[in-house]
Amino acid sequence: MQTTELGRTGEQVSKLSLGAMLMGTRTDEQTAFRMLDRYLDSGGSFVDTADCYAWWPAPGNTGGESETVLGRWLAARGNRDRVFLSTKGSAWVSDPDRYRGRPERPDYAGAGADTLRKALDDSLTRLGTDHVDLYYVHVDDRATPLEETLAALTGLVQAGKVRHIGWSNVRTWRLERILGLCDRHGWQAPVALQQQHSYLRPAPGARYLSIVDDEQLDHLRANPSVSLVAYSPILKGIYDDPAKRDGHPAMGDYAGPDAEARLARLTTMAGDLGVTPNQLVLAWLLHQTDPAPITLVGPRTPDQLDTALGALDIKLTDEQRTLLDG
């Protein structure tokens, strides 16, 4: 397992991060423990969750299930010092039944100072730890002044409850404003940007709120103090299955001639290499250097985790990378 520096913090984290979103709901606790053990045994260290994970899979799920399972695992294994632990606040949903199975955007808790302080304390209780290594604003909150949010996050770092902060699902102009305010006031600046990023490129006219586009990549190249954490790298597994891609919501922001050309090139090369297209996408991301993302996978089963870990063994030549990029 290769590591990479988180921003310019000096902190080394594994380039392949394990997302625990469905642990405690669609992935039962015993299976989750097996997967977490397997990930650490492979050399991984970076485990990602959020306070709202996961209220949507089934009636009775409320959020907090993932953190609770992780807390039990950390206690059972006594391995907190081996894990770079990240969680998120601001996207808690107080009435999950109102939104479960519906397309509208939920009424998130937001990033107010009191809200974040309580959300973090609740997360720490579920996780059974006195601090997290990385704490994200999960969903950018434009209704709350950034000054309030950033001052509160800085206070959480000063209190020793958070080591680093990050932001997720945010547009580039907002990230630049955040960085400017932090520089001006001496507040804790984000060192991680968690966005959706994959081999397919967003189509013209797509909604770019949560998806990395060319402008955001350019911004990250100019600001190496912020690391890209790429979530949904295999877009719910659509690369392996043409039938699954047809009409899948994950394709909505990508569909078009560019995607068709990329899928054809990817499928051919995966066949030549004897790997799956999903694995090749992960390998492609792990080979990126400008910027160098941290690739976040969220497997539901041990087999899915093993498939993702298999991407670590795929070594792409410069020629193969050029073919994929082109």
Query: Would you please indicate which residues are annotated as catalytic (active-site) residues?
Result: 53
Contact present, 287 and 222 (Cβ < 8 Å): no
Contact present, 180 and 169 (Cβ < 8 Å): no
Question: Which of 83, 31, 21, 20 has the alpha carbon at shortest distance from 54?
Answer: 21
Burial label for 51, CB within 10 Å (0-12, 13-18, 19+), is: buried
Q: Where are the beta strands (DSSP E) in the chain?
A: 3-5, 12-14, 16-19, 46-48, 84-89, 132-137, 162-168, 190-196, 227-231, 294-297
Task: Print burial letters for 248-261: b (CB count within 10 Å at least 16), e (below 16).
Answer: eebbebbbbeebee
Phi, psi angles (nearest 5°) of residue 16? -110, 110
Contact present, 30 and 303 (Cβ < 8 Å): no
Could you tell me the two tokens for 276? 């799956």
